Structure 1
Amino acid sequence: MSHECLLLYFYADWCGSCQTMLTVMDRLKDKIPENTEVVKIDLDKNHKLASIYQIRSVPAFILLKSGKEKWRKSGIMTACELEQIILQYNN
């Protein structure tokens, strides 16, 4: 299946807030449209990708639609907030 939207989730194992967000991300999986994929990216194992997207702190989220960045945010968010952002850019 082709995914029109990608939600990139940058995290680190040593980050307490990131561990909280992993639970939120798991809850989010069943609530988002089929054309959206959530990609979890470990900051410590993907330095180059973090550099490309200029990630300065974690947790960090970037929403790509058709390969173009549409939204980004750092910090804790609720599953509901993330779902609303994804739905907003899926239309």
Structure 2
Amino acid sequence: MSSIQHLNDQNFRAFIETAHQPVLVDFWADWCGPCKAMAPILEQLVDTFEGRVTITKLDVDANPETTAQFNIRSIPSLILFVNGEPVAKHPGFASLKQTQAFIEREL
């Protein structure tokens, strides 16, 4: 069973650029209700996409540099990175099926 990795301003770029598979980043905050609702959905998807996608989280309050770099204006926001580059963005809450379909469309 894999777990969600937590990224920050210091390790974000290196992690995204050296990943051997696509990386999904959940931009979130502890005070955000919809973000908390996304957490169990992402936990389920870690196992579903094991070996195909790495699922990560980045706290927008603690990491303003990366948050600003990707123009995050609403949370939760999901960005899928392939070969270090953002290929798709999904702002707002999404159900399990919607999130799974968002990821699969880009693989």
Normalization by structure 2: what TM-score?
0.76
C-alpha contact 1:10 1:40 (8 A) present in aligned 2 = yes
**1:8-44 per-position Cα deviation (integer Å, ceiling 9, x unaligned):** 1000001111100111111111111413101111111
CA RMSD of aligned residues (A): 1.3
**1:65-86 per-position Cα deviation (integer Å, ceiling 9, x unaligned):** 1112111011111122222222
State the identity %. Answer: 28
2:62 corresponds to which of 37, 42, 45 = 45
36-45 vs 78-87, which moves further: 78-87
The letter of the residue matching 1:29 is V
Larger RCO (alpha carbons 8 Å, 6+ apart): 1
Tell me what 1:21 maps to. 38
> 5+ unaligned residues in a row in structure 2: which ranges?
1-18
> 5+ unaligned residues in a row in structure 1: which ranges?
none
Tell me what 2:103 maps to. 86
Displacement over 3 Å in runs of 4+: none
